[in-house]
Structures are given as C-alpha cells and as structure tokens.
C-alpha cells in the first residue's frame, strides 16, 4: 500500500531513532525537508492549508517520544530568543518563509547575561533548520503567512512548563537578557 509523505517521514524517523548524533540530526532534517515538499493534494496537507491551525500535533511517537507539530503563522509574527532546554528541534518551512536568528549567551563583566546575535538565516519553503540542546534562536515569519513544521525530540510542553528547562529572553535597554 502506498504511504503518504507524513507516514513516510514517521517511518523514516522511527527507523533512524537513537541517541543524538550528527547522523540522526541529518537524517531527520533530510526527512523533514522531503515532508515539506509533499504534494499539497495529500489529504493531511490540504487540510492544514485549509484550516491554518496556529498549532496542531501531527504525530507523537509512543515509543521514542518525538513530536511533530504544524504551525500556521501570520506574516510578521516574531518569537523572541529562546532555547529548548535539553531538547533538539528542527524547524521546516512548508509554505512561505521565516527568518531564524541564532545567539550566544555572554556574561558581561558586571555579571549580567546578554545575548549576542550570530546571524540570521532566511528559511524558505522546502528548507529546514536544526537547533541542538542549548542553542538560542528567534524566529520571524516573512511578510506573508507561512506554514511551518516543528519536529522535537521530546515534548516541549513538559520541558518548559513542568521541568522549567526552557529559557526565554527579554529585551531590556536594547539588549536581550534573562528575565531575572
């Protein structure tokens, strides 16, 4: 029986799953890039384009715990710098574009923490970006709405709300810093 692109991605991720390695991250990124290039006529993808959910879980693996979500974002939506705690994450753009910036966390001489922006990458339809544990990034949807997929190696709601391992940064006096 023919599988759709979503089923193919899930099967591929499950077959490759194990401890985080360069090979696993590359395999999942490549699989996600194939997934976002799926035909918009596939029922599950056509439904996402029709419904444009702010967040919809597409798959949660019962054995390995990884999660695949879809996010329809309005043009210009900005998500400030944050990390994902112990988790690694892959963002992929199915439709539209997103700019994703990366940051380093630097302690100032006075002990204050500030973020230093490394770069910003335009991620267009069919492309994916990997963030490893501890990586700090922000996202800004392009001028038009976009459909993004987020693949996480664990449930980020647990990582954030229950275990309090996700760090979100705030802007103070023109610099990004911790909320404390």
pLDDT tens-digit series, residues 75-133? 999 999 999 888 999 999 999 999 999 999 999 898 889 999 999 999 999 999 999 99
> Rounded to two decimals, what is the model's pTM?
0.91
Domain ranges of the chain: 5-178
Give the count of alpha carbons within 13 A of 159, CB side only. Answer: 21
Other beta carbons less than 10 A from residue 56's beta carbon:
14
Task: Give, in degrees to the nearest 5, the angle at Cα 124 between 26 and 103.
Answer: 70
pLDDT category at 161 given cuts 50, 70, 90 is low
pLDDT category at 137 given cuts 50, 70, 90 is very high
| CATH superfamily placement of domain 5-178 | Jelly Rolls (2.60.120.10)
What separation in angstroms does the CA of 111 have from each of 106, 154, 177?
9, 32, 11
């Amino acid at each position: 029986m023919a599988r759709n692109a979503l089923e193919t991605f899930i099967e591929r991720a499950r077959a490759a799953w194990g401890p985080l390695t360069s090979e696993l991250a590359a395999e999942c990124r490549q699989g996600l890039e194939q997934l976002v290039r799926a035909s918009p006529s596939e029922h599950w993808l056509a439904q996402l384009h029709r419904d444009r959910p702010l967040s919809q879980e597409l798959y949660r693996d019962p054995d390995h715990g990884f999660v695949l979500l879809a996010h329809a974002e309005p043009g210009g939506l900005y998500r400030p710098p944050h990390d994902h705690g112990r988790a690694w994450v892959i963002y992929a753009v199915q439709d539209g574009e997103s700019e994703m910036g990366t940051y380093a966390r630097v302690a100032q001489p006075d002990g204050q923490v500030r973020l230093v922006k490394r770069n910003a990458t335009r991620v267009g339809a069919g492309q994916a970006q990997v963030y490893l544990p501890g990586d700090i990034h922000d996202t800004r949807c392009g001028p038009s709405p976009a459909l993004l997929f987020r693949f996480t190696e664990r449930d980020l709601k647990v990582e954030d709300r229950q275990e309090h391992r996700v760090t979100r940064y705030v802007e103070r006096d023109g610099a990004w810093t911790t909320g404390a």
